[in-house]
Amino acid sequence: MKKRLPIVAILIISIVPTLIAATRPRLVIFISVDQMRADYLERFRNNFSGGLKRLTEEGAVFRNADLNYGPSETGPGHAALSTGCYPSKSGILSNDWFDPTTRKDVYCVEDTSAEKVGSEGGGVSPRNLQVTALGDWLKQASPQSRVIAVSVKDRAAILMGGQHADYAFWYDSKSGHMVTSEYYTHSEPDWARSFNESNWVEHHVPDAWTTLHPSQYYNSFGPDTLQGEMMWSGSTAFPHPFSPKKRNEQILRSPYGDMLVLDFARSALQAEKLGQRTSVDLLCISLSCTDYIGHAFGPNSREMADQMMRLDASLGSFLSDAERIVGRGNIVVALSADHAVMPLPEYTMNVKHGFARRILPQTAINPGIEALDRTLEQELGTGEHVIQSDAFLNYAVAVKAGVDSVELERRVREGLLKLDGIADVYFRRELRDNSTPDRPFLEMLRRGYFPARGKDFLVRFCENCLVSKSTTGTSHGSPYDYDTRVSLVFWGTGIKSESVDRDVHTVDIAPTLAKILGLQCPNYVDGHPLDEVAR
């Protein structure tokens, strides 16, 4: 005989689903601040008064978030954020790759079948993405939900939005407009057309990028001129004047590009009634100007300090408007980054008095590779290149000469390790075979390697060594922690304020948001829901 439940238990059981549904947000805002290092939230904390202050003081801050893979680039980073998968599954292993079959370079979101909308945009889509994303999981569970992604970079918007976003928009620096492709729509919506017709750049960008505060406010951030910074109109110091003919492009290396994207996102929020209907909606925003500024001036520049403070103010205004439109307590925000960045080598050497180097490949590395190739040609008795472009090897000529693939790779490795700045070489066989003896960074590079699009070998340069054709600026792409440690914050409905010190990864974000929304992740996803947030 079945026992009858007490009436109180019956009431609790019937109420629980309602309570769970009530705590779910009506709008998820997924923000990627391109190149936002993990230390920015702490370093600039006392200078925040807007959105970043709210997020860090009221939200859950994960202080040890890492990509956990290499290479640390924009395409792979945004795909990992949205899909919960490492590049080894997403297929987006770099911003570009070489297709040995067609002998052509492939851009990570290129799609020649994606036509322009009107006379702008086109040529790109998520066609190269091999897995689904958070927005796709949401659309499958709730077809009426809206998924919109925006950025100044096409690859950032497209890869965050996933396979079935309603819209993805990105910035065209020639026209100053936000554009899309026919993969998403055959005609731009009225609100997007109105935004473009408003000539945002003309009405919102001043004659020069000046500091938000008086110059003495920035003294604690170091000098305004650092060796290695990019020249802007003959100087590396503020102010940075905008040229009337180049302003559409120049705003990308200033805070104004992010302001434009946030204003465009605000238009989408209002016009598409995101979070204001019965379904849950997803708004993905990738803010790219931190990346452009970091590349030009480095993460320790006054320009980066000003960017962080202006971004804090812009995000504060945007979040306040979102709360006003959607309703306080109806929003969840996840903020992270696609990758971080290496400090300017000159800053590390001259200010921090540490080890760092700037290595010019055209003089320090490429001649050595060419010499090694000539040596191998002679050893194998062939007139063909053995080390081909884009890190592919001509295994066929080695076999013809009676040299097997393992011996060829040994010779290539031995030769490459003699070159300035090269710390290790990893071959396709090692990246695919988990039984290969482990060595530093091998597992990280495996998680970032997609064999069907991968090179025959990957090179790891020495730590704190910037291999760049340019004599100024800095970059990212390595598996070192200065490139892989990023910011991560969750804020909003049902999330309490706390600081979390355990190691987490950016692939954990999409599964966490999925759990908050009650969505089922595909079983192949690499990330795991973060219990501190998705209880």
Structure tokens at 223: 């000098």
d(CA 367, CA 63): 42
The Cα 260–Cα 185 span in angstroms is 22
Residues ≥6 apart with Cβ < 8 Å to 500: 60, 61, 62, 63, 64, 530, 532
Rg (alpha carbons) of the chain, rounded to whole number: 25
Q: What's the CA gap between 198 and 188, in Å, rounded? A: 15
d(CA 527, CA 323): 29
Q: Do 28 and 280 contact (CB within 8 A), yes or no?
A: yes
Amino acid identity, position 415: G
Torsion of CA 43, 47, 51, 54, to 10 degrees: 80
Residue 278 CB-density burial (10 A; 0-12 exposed, 13-18 middle, 19+ buried): exposed
Which CA distances in Å does 178 have to 66, 122, 256, 259, 270?
A: 31, 12, 14, 13, 17
Active site residues: 74
Give the rounded distance of the alpha carbon of 131 from its chain centre: 17
Please, which residues bridge with residue 167 across strands?
148
Q: CA–CA separation, 188 vs 169, rounded Å?
A: 10
| Contact by Cβ (8 Å): 424, 440 | yes
Which pairs count as long-range contacts for 135-140, CB under 8 Å and 24+ apart, including other chains?
135/82, 135/160, 135/161, 135/162, 135/164, 135/165, 135/282, 135/284, 136/162, 136/163, 136/164, 137/514, 137/519, 137/520, 137/521, 137/522, 138/280, 138/282, 138/517, 138/519, 139/164
Q: Cα–Cα distance between 515 and 252 in angstroms, integer?
A: 35
For CA atoms 69, 70, 73, 75, the dihedral sign is: negative
Q: What is the DSSP letter of 343?
A: P
What whole-number distance in Å separates Cα of residue 178 and Cα of residue 260? 9
Backbone angles phi, psi at 424, to 5 degrees: -165, 160
